[in-house]
Copies of this chain bind each other. A is one copy, B any other.
Amino acid sequence: MTKVKKHTWRSKLHEIIYEADTPLGKIFDVVLLILILLSVILVMLESVKSIDLEYHKVLYIGEWIITVFFTLEYILRIITVKKPFRYIFSFYGIIDFISTIPLYLSYIFLGTSYLLTVRAFRLLRIFRILKITRYVGEANKLKTALKHSRPKILIFLFTVLIIAIIAGTLMYLIEGEESGFTSIPRSIYWAIVTLTTVGYGDIAPAGPLGQFIAAILMIMGYGIIAVPTGIVSAEYAMDKEDTVHTNTQVCSNCNEKAHDDKAKYCHSCSEVLNYLDL
């Protein structure tokens, strides 16, 4: 009992930041979501020259406000978790770090002549969009479906690659440089463009033999698309009866998720889960 009282403010903050069961927790999440979207829109607008020329200052200030907020969020997340390193090196920990650092880095390198590096760092901010995935619960289902059918997906990718390599080499030999097949890697790029039915048309066969092979490749691609569909359909048919965890309880000690709805203690480290209820 004494253990619980000792870190009340930290556990309260943990509940607000990591969970969405309390009104404050919900407000925090909504504010964060809006800021993420705003931030992504800012990055996009900045890249449009005509907009950047006119509203450069507004975009810059907006960017700093968002960065300061994300910095605070990152620090609070580290403080309120009991095992900070576990969070720092987790997927979301890294994303949170990448979301915060770009502006500082671009500030440091601003004096130097590595303009491209600065630009690259600033664009890193787009990865903030991945912070949103934190709020998409059912994505887990998709993730497990993908995990289950990983061997099948790998074989599918592997088959696609082998067909693309062989078809690309054949076309390199047949079509030659006039039609755009200047090297084997470029021909393989064309084969993937064709096999996936994208078909840019930047490289296209000109001779009858090349067109014949291209036609075969297209029909193969048109048929092969059935394979991933069949895999996912079968996977979905199996997973239909699975249930989704609706609570957002996250253990403040070990970051374990997916607790039972009625759970009071973490099923992984026996830490108390709901301090605010006590």
Contacts and interface: CB of A to CB of B under 8 A. Distances in A.
A49 interface: yes
B201 A200 contact: yes
- With most chain B CB atoms within 10 A of its CB, the pick from A49, A129, A218 is A218
A53 interface: no
Interface in A218-247: 218-219, 221-223, 225-238, 240
Contacts of A193: 199, 214-215, 218
A188 to B, nearest CB: 7
B200 A165 contact: no
Interface in A167-220: 169, 172-173, 182-186, 188-189, 192-202, 204, 208, 211-212, 214-215, 218-219
Nearest to A174: B120
Interface of A: 40, 43-44, 47-49, 119-120, 123, 126-127, 129-130, 132-133, 136, 138-139, 142, 151-153, 155-160, 162, 165-166, 169, 172-173, 182-186, 188-189, 192-202, 204, 208, 211-212, 214-215, 218-219, 221-223, 225-238, 240
27 contacts: A40-B165, A43-B169, A47-B185, A49-B182, A123-B172, A123-B184, A127-B166, A129-B166, A132-B162, A136-B155, A142-B227, A156-B223, A157-B219, A196-B197, A196-B218, A196-B219, A197-B197, A197-B199, A198-B198, A198-B199, A226-B228, A226-B230, A226-B231, A230-B233, A234-B236, A234-B237, A234-B240
